[in-house]
């Protein structure tokens, strides 16, 4: 091995080490006391939500295609939906749901093209067929329904009243430079007061929408400035489509808002050798990054209400108490 090659190898190694140090220093780690409280075994849990008052936990279980309701001590209470199908109360592929202050459950199913609203007792309250097929949704103070359309439009977000009447669009300038790469615009959405927050899965941006004035409040980079993944073009039976490579990094894998804080489940731990989940915390006022903390277990999906962290690992839903 030549001396020149050895010097080059040493230089590259030092650069990698320095890069890793810079990445580690970018996060401000906060020590928290974490207590595992309980485990819940389900068929195929996918999405977790907590009622606005924190009394109930709701889990979308793809195993039997139903949303299940539990008490705060993880005791089963009831369920929403009738399983797989296209009939009333049935689902094909629900992608999001929310619970309002009256414990009504709003379920977004783009395969059926509707939002189904269930009463607390599981009966269907109403179904909404909007002008766009919904992919994500959130509710704002029981006044407005926000959706992220499944198919790219000129705007990132569409706003409706609770009866499904269109009100206005938001977020045109944010997506104007993405061209036809609508596949990059996926993300997670949550509300807090009169504001809605959207974290992109792949781009590494956090957006705040001001509902009262109908404008974008801010657009901020997240701590994970992931590079834009290269889109793969596919052709199947003469139909052309797009796909993000499976090994492409995530920047946001979930978002929750509590008081003045935004909690984002980072995607940086997805390929980490550590068995951890990283939660990054931001100010809801201006989107500034504040600090991060670790959950000592890798989770695929998570929900944090400021006091309890709920994480999914395979078929297990685990509840953790977080003390700052």
Strand partners, 141: none
Strand partners, 281: 263, 291
Q: Given CA atoms 85, 88, 89, 94 in this order, what sign does their dihedral have? A: positive
Give residue 23's pLDDT.
41
Give residue 124's pLDDT.
98
Give residue 9's pLDDT.
37
- What residues contact residue 61 under an 8 Å CB cut-off, 6+ apart? 42, 43, 44, 45, 46, 67, 68
Distances (CA, A) of 192 to 72, 105, 255, 307, 319: 22, 18, 11, 16, 23
Angle at 85 between CA 79 and CA 90, to 5 degrees: 30
Give residue 283's pLDDT.
98
Residue 11 contacts residue 285 (beta carbons within 8 Å): no
Give residue 151's pLDDT.
85
Mind giving me the DSSP string for 258-292? ETTEEEEEESTTTT-SSS-EEEEEEETTT--EEEE
Give residue 24's pLDDT.
42
pLDDT along the chain (324 residues), means of 10: 41 38 67 95 96 96 96 95 94 97 97 97 97 96 90 89 95 67 84 94 93 92 82 76 80 94 90 87 97 95 95 95 95
Measured distance CA(69)–CA(48) in Å, rounded = 10
């Amino acid at each position: 091995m030549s001396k020149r090659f050895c010097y080059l190898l040493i230089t590259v190694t030092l650069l990698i080490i320095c890069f890793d140090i810079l990445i580690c220093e970018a996060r401000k780690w906060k020590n928290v006391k974490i207590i595992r409280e309980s485990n819940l075994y389900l068929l195929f849990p996918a999405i977790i939500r907590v009622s606005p008052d924190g009394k109930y936990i709701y889990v979308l279980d793809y195993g039997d295609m139903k949303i299940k309701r539990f008490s705060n001590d993880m005791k089963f209470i009831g369920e929403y939906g009738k399983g797989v199908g296209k009939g009333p109360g049935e689902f094909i592929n629900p992608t999001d749901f929310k619970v309002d202050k009256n414990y009504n459950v709003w379920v977004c199913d783009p395969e059926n093209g509707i939002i189904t609203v269930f009463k607390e007792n599981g009966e269907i309250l109403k179904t909404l067929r909007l002008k766009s097929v919904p992919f994500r949704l959130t509710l704002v103070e029981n006044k407005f329904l926000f959706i992220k359309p499944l198919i790219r439009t000129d705007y990132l977000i569409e706003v409706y009243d609770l009866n499904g009447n269109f009100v206005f669009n938001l977020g045109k300038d944010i997506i104007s430079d993405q061209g036809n790469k609508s596949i990059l615009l996926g993300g997670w959405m949550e509300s807090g007061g009169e504001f809605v927050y959207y974290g992109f899965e792949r781009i590494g941006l956090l957006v705040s929408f001001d509902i009262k004035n109908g404008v974008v409040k801010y657009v901020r980079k997240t701590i994970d400035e992931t590079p834009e993944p290269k889109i793969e073009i596919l052709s199947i039976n003469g139909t052309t489509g797009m796909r993000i490579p499976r090994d492409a990094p995530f920047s946001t894998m979930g978002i929750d808002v509590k008081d003045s804080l935004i909690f984002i489940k980072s995607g940086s731990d997805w390929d980490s050798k550590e068995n951890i989940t990283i939660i990054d915390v931001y100010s809801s006022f201006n989107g500034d990054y504040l600090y991060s903390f670790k959950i000592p277990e890798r989770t695929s999906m998570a929900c944090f209400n400021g006091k309890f962290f709920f994480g999914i690992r395979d078929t297990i839903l685990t509840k953790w108490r977080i003390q700052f």
